[in-house]
Amino acid sequence: MPLITLKIDVDTFRGTREGVPNLVRTLQKHDARATFLFSLGPDHTGWAMRRAFRPGFFQKVSRTSVLEHYGLKTLMYGVLLPAPDIGQLCANQLRAVHQAGFECGIHTWDHVVWQDHVRQQDATWTQGLMQRSYDRFTDVFGYAPQTHGAAGWQMNPHAFRQLDAFGIAYASDERAPLRDDGSLSHADAGPHRLSIDGETLSCIQMPTTLPTLDELLGRTIGGELVTTANIAAVLLRLTASPRDHVYTLHAELEGQKLAPIFDQLLSGWRAQGYELAAMTDYHQAIGQRDLPVNPIAWGTLPGRSGDLLLQAA
């Protein structure tokens, strides 16, 4: 049975408090497994407004209504309001996800700081921030994390090496290259290992293979304007031919305003014959198979601004 691996990025304080419990209820309704990846330090979402100078930023904001999904208060954190410490203030909510039977892992310490700066940073900066998230995770959950998913699909070579140093067995830090219609641009995209300076790392990378909702909404694909009314059907067309996929969703989107769409997707994937899985399930399904080894690569994706990590072809 093919897998849809559900990888949930939790970026903000509001997403942790409101979106995460909503997602837990929706997943339980569908008897679906999933992996929650948490931001564990301060929520500086307001600092993200500096991205206004990036190509494509305003088009994305106008299409996806950032204010509607994130809320004015969240957009003020770190600017006009102090940044709440998510891991400290929401520790009980985080533990409740684990207690409900869902896999939990690390997204980042500070989402905006990591996404906007990690690509240019050195080993000391990178390891310091990753150690803070690792220590906070173990403090909250009482065990060491087994998985990781990079904020904004941004990493650097030091960060990938640090995953091995932590003993992280599998991660989803990259994207698979996509065509304008959201389909995979090469059929072999999927689990692999990374090579850095001739060294093959042990951590298995499981890249996201489907477009996210915010990458699709408001775009015209195949002559059809993608709206909240038809976006589930657009995504389900991409999974009509069975194969393993990783789908990244966000507590701030599918856990709140776009929850009805996620509900449609879960029902649709069940009808298509997929198992709704956590990252640990995908890792177990990969087993001992020989995996390709790829270098680190960067590129762009339709509907998303800026460069991000793409699985090398």
Stretch (H or E) spanning 270: helix 259-271
Predicted local confidence at residue 207, as pLDDT? 98
pLDDT at 306 over 50: yes
What is the rounded radius of gyration, in angstroms, for the C-alpha atoms of the chain? Answer: 18
Averaged pLDDT of the chain:
91
Q: Are 300 and 49 in contact (CB under 8 A)?
A: no
CB of 227 within 8 A of CB of 214?
no
pLDDT for position 49: 59
Name the pLDDT band for 244 (thresholds 50, 70, 90). very high
User: What is residue 83's predicted lDDT score, i.e. its pLDDT?
Assistant: 74
Q: Is the pLDDT of residue 261 over 80?
A: yes
Query: How large is the average pLDDT for residues 8-30?
Result: 96
The model's pTM is: 0.91
- pLDDT band at 60; cut points 50, 70, 90: very low
| Span 259-285, average pLDDT | 98
Q: Mind listing the pLDDT tens digit for each residue in 139-191?
A: 999 999 999 999 999 999 999 999 999 999 999 999 999 999 999 999 889 99
**Does position 312 have pLDDT exceeding 50, yes or no?**
yes
pLDDT of 65 above 70: no
Write out pLDDT tens, residues 177-236: 999 999 999 988 999 999 999 999 999 999 999 999 999 999 999 999 999 999 999 999
* pLDDT over 70, % of the chain: 88
Residue-number span of the structural domain to which 125 is assigned: 3-309
Closest by CA to 147, choosing from 169, 114, 120, 125, is: 169
In which band, very low, low, confident or very high, does the pLDDT at 63 lie, cut at 50, 70 and 90? very low
> Would you say 87 and 38 are in contact if contact means Cβ atoms under 8 Å apart?
yes
Question: What is the signed CA dihedral for 137, 140, 141, 146, rounded to 10 degrees?
Answer: 0
Please state the rounded mean pLDDT for residues 9-34: 96
CATH number at residue 251: 3.20.20.370
Per-residue pLDDT at 82: 67
Counted domains in the chain:
1
Q: What's the rounded mean pLDDT across residues 276-291?
A: 95
**Do the beta carbons of residue 75 and residue 45 sit within 8 Å?**
yes
